Chains A and B, each alone.
Chain A
Amino acid sequence: MSEDRAADEQVDGARATVRLSPDALADLTKDILEDTISNIIFSTALESHRSEKLLRMQSAATQAESVALSSLELQPSIKSANSSSQPSVPTAETSAAKYENGRVFLKGNPLKTTPEIICPHCKLPRLMHPIMGKGMQNPDLTKEYCMLYPWVQRQGHDVYGNPFPTDMAKSKKERELIKQQQKNTEKESVGTPGSQDTDMAGGDTQSKEIKLNTGGKPASYIPWHTCPNCKRSLLITRFAQHLEKCLGISGRQSSRNAMAKLTGNGSGTGLGNTPLGSRMGTPAPGSQSDILPKSKGKGVSPVKKLNDEDDEGDNDTPEKKKKKKSSYVKKADRERGGRDGSVLKVKLKTGAGRDPERKASDSSERPDKRDREDTNDPDGAPKQKKIKLSLGRSDSNGGAENGASQERRESK
């Protein structure tokens, strides 16, 4: 629109002085079109020039800063020996920049001086090409990279390079069958990991090479989650179905729960014949989400609270949410729990590589499998694992950088 306006004025100017030749309109159209297209290209090119140059500028600065700070770290001994009056001003100079007391002065054009992009946060180089799929290049695995990899574009894989979950919709039996089959084939060909996608670049775990980490799970992975209401552990894909029954929205339990609500009695079972007239202190149905005070175990319904009382207080994670130990422990779990000394209820699996093998009995197999995946020690300390469970929040806030990186290595 605006282009046209400018063009009109140009035309007006031309008309005033010279008579137009018949070809003028064609020429003019061509000129305008060319200029406009060239402008689009110019803007696009400048936009990517800007984003790239800003990255390189920051990289040059980050490198200079790192040099300055590492030299600073070497100094304290000398400094304390000389005088403690003035802390030395950190300075450093690289071929691309000069660092002086918190400010960085660039030298030359960073597009020429700084070929690598360094993450300003973790100070590690960024990978420049996707690790698989469209435009992939095998990176130099002797170096460690910033975890923000270029996005992967590959059929059947997400942006991180994890394969899509495959058997979400399958029933438990079907999944177990597949597991069994995988296990059998793995037995036949020992040593070849089940899924090559997730760790294509770093096939052998034993080597000192740094492995690329897509961070995800094998395709067959479906997480388990503890129901906040009844503390049962169940597949996430079945959650809505379960919760519906558990909350008594519909299904077998709903009429009983409804009746329990009416009677104002917490137990929720077996009181169907209480006369309706005897209700006392009835909470208005439907408003309970607003009026209930926040109880210790989040989301514990009044119906179930009684049953849960006995496990309050053991297994205390500082966070109030989730990962509460359940009173509902399957028999197999209980046995196993006795042996291990603790009951692991949270099915957080790490280890992107191996396809987990599962025995037919799911429940007894779970803790076992975790151990095998995470460490090579079959009786790996489950206590240590617990740290991981609380990672999401405490690490990021608490600044336990070392812990985080440890976790990273562990999960490879």
Chain B
Amino acid sequence: MDTASAASKAAPLASPKVVKNSKGALVPSSQMAHIAYGCEHMREMLENVKKATFNNYRAILQDIHEKPSVISQTHKSPATGDGRPVVSLRPLYLCLQCPSIMTETDRDGHIESKLHCFSVESRDGHLYCGHCQDFIYDPDLEVRRLQKGKKRKYEDTTTTDDHKLIISNSTFLPCRAIGLRGLYNMGQTCFMSVILQTLMHNPFVRNFYLSEGHRTSECEKEACVSCALDEMFVEFHSSEKTEGFGAVSMLLGSWLAGEALAGYQQQDAHEYMQFILNTLHLQNGGSSDSEDCTCVVHQTFYGKLSSTVTCDKCRNVTTALDPYMDLSLDVRNQIKKRKLDVKSGDEIQLDLRDCMERFTGREKLAAADYTCQNCDSGQNATKQLSIKRLPPVLPIHLKRFEHTKSTSSKIETNVRFPLKLDIYPYTTAHKSTQTKAAKLANAPNTNHNMNSPTNSLIYELSSVIVHKGKIDSGHYVSYSREGNDWFLFDDSKVVLVSEAEVLGAEAYLLFYMVSGLEM
């Protein structure tokens, strides 16, 4: 692999630059010790038959992730003797050196009798070493496992020279500076803090800024919001401080850029999000055409909604595409009327998926509201929204604030939301198959693979913004995930919390992030 060769070639570089830490131990500049193999036995294997091993492993991974799962979940057990194929729900082991598929107990026998030391676990493709009697994580093979046996679509363009350059010109950041800092409340600025925190913990935005996407030194704008965000990323990721941060230049920049949001008063976090995304788009060289804008904001948040209107009379369909940066969902409790009859004692709970269903459901338009061009007259029609294009990070806004002419109120309905959301049912692709497939009575389109089912698009919850209290006197807090840990950001406080607490929160804005990207 690229990294392996790079590290080995770069190694002599380690000697000229020797740094000591405070204890006198040596700290080589920005270089991590490179592990060559997963274990001694894998070293022997790869040194002898590298290519065959890689090919076999890739083939097994493809079986696991692409073929019907029943193939890798069926074993012929020699133990019972009759050799009948048996399907197992539990993980089986696919020998890396021959086509055998075995149960856990058979695996150990196979290792002894055939001296086939390595086998691949059938659910996630983890590699088991019979000599270590343990799962091993070989750097080269792990890369293939995480790619699910697919070839990379895009080549890693960093060359050996690049690696050398990086190693000799960089140092490690303080270990503690991993971006977990609070933001001081500067006086009713929590609406800003929560949006900033979700941006700080958005990997796409973070990578953009940490890779010098916006160069403050070259920026000529006065009170630039993008520079202010850059300043925050630098501070959060390079300083050992743990207390809060005063986002003064961000506040100043926001106020100067957006007159509507300026002033010492409470603001709506959703409005601020729309404002800051738009401002960042403009300040990072975004083009006016959102369709092919390459700015970080559009690359991260831009999607398209398809809106189809079908005339009830002539069945003429008109389709319009609308860009979006977030989905605004209705949380008014329409189900209440129906469920009151059921007389359940529990509080009626709305689920995010109900809201999405309703959002993409069919809606009747009255003749007064729709003029069919085909019929050239007002006609009853059916309207349906669906997601045509999904962004890598999908913000979902729950419309908790209701504004009528005279009053504004907050809807405090509890809306449940999942950690993993399958968005496929709300996409245009799904909605179109639904109508046609129903007519043609086609069999459901599936590949019978549990690892990568065709009809699913999994997004994972990454941040939650919560509004507490009344409409006019409330407080915003946010939750964000880092690795497997969830953190609560309440102004300058950062607290480790449980998944359960996050899922029980009264969400106002939800951020779902795509669970995997193909490279």
Interface residues of A (CB under 8 A from B): 1-3, 5-7, 9-10, 13, 32, 35-36, 38-39, 42-43, 46, 49-50, 53-54, 57-58, 61-62, 64-66, 69-70, 72-73, 87, 90, 99, 101-109, 111, 119-124, 144, 146-149, 151-153, 158-160, 162, 164-165, 168, 214-217, 221-223, 225, 227-229, 236-241, 243-244, 247, 249-250, 286, 288-290, 292-295, 298-299, 321-322, 391-393, 395-397, 399, 401-402, 404-409
How many B residues touch the partner, as a band?
Answer: 35 or more
Q: Which residue of A lies closest to B491 (CB)?
A: A168
Which stretch in B16-24, B322-330, B334-342, B395-403 binds the other chain?
B16-24
Whether B176 contacts A147 by the Cβ 8 Å rule is: yes
Q: Is the CB of A239 within 8 A of B11?
A: no
Q: Which of A43, A87, A168, A222 contacts B15 (CB 8 A)?
A: A87
A245 to B175, CA, bound (A): 40
Pairs A–B under 8 Å by Cβ, sample size 17: A6-B69, A35-B89, A50-B135, A69-B18, A72-B15, A102-B34, A153-B496, A159-B180, A160-B176, A168-B185, A227-B248, A228-B249, A238-B186, A293-B222, A294-B222, A404-B240, A407-B240
Query: A144 and B11: CB pair below 8 A?
Result: no
Q: Mark B437-459, 1 if CB is under 8 A from A, else 0.
A: 00000000000111001000000
B40 beta carbon closer than 8 Å to chain A: yes
B319 on the A face (CB < 8 A)? no
A299 and B40 contacting across the interface, CB-CB below 8 Å:
no
Contact of B238 with A392 in the complex, beta carbons under 8 Å: yes
Cα distance A95–B137 when bound, in Å?
20
In the complex, residue of chain B having the shortest beta-carbon distance to the beta carbon of A105: B36
| CB within 8 Å of A: which B239-279 residues | 239-244, 246, 248-249, 251-253, 255-257, 259, 262-264
Q: Closest approach, in angstroms, between the C-beta of B177 and any C-beta of chain A?
A: 8
Check B252 against A158 for contact (C-beta < 8 Å): no
The yes or no answer to B81 lying at the interface (CB within 8 A) is no
A-B pairs with the 3 shortest C-beta distances?
A102-B11, A2-B450, A396-B238
Indicate if B32 sits at the interface (CB-CB under 8 A): yes
Binding site for A on B (CB under 8 A): 4, 7-12, 14-15, 18-23, 25-29, 32-40, 43, 69-70, 73, 87-91, 121, 123-124, 126, 132, 134-135, 137, 170-178, 180, 182, 184-189, 219-223, 231, 234-235, 238-244, 246, 248-249, 251-253, 255-257, 259, 262-264, 448-450, 453, 485, 487, 491-496
Least Cβ distance of A321 to chain B in Å?
A: 7
B27 touches A216 (CB 8 A): no
With the chains together, A46 CA to B136 CA distance in Å? 11
Docked complex Cα distance between A292 and B219 (Å): 12
Expressed in whole angstroms, the minimum distance between the Cβ of A47 and any Cβ of chain B is: 9
Find out whether the CB atom of B135 lies under 8 angstroms from the CB atom of A53: yes
Instruction: List 12 other contacts, CB 8 Å, given A36-B89, A223-B246, A241-B187.
Output: A6-B87, A9-B87, A53-B137, A159-B180, A159-B495, A165-B493, A168-B491, A215-B242, A295-B222, A299-B223, A396-B173, A396-B238
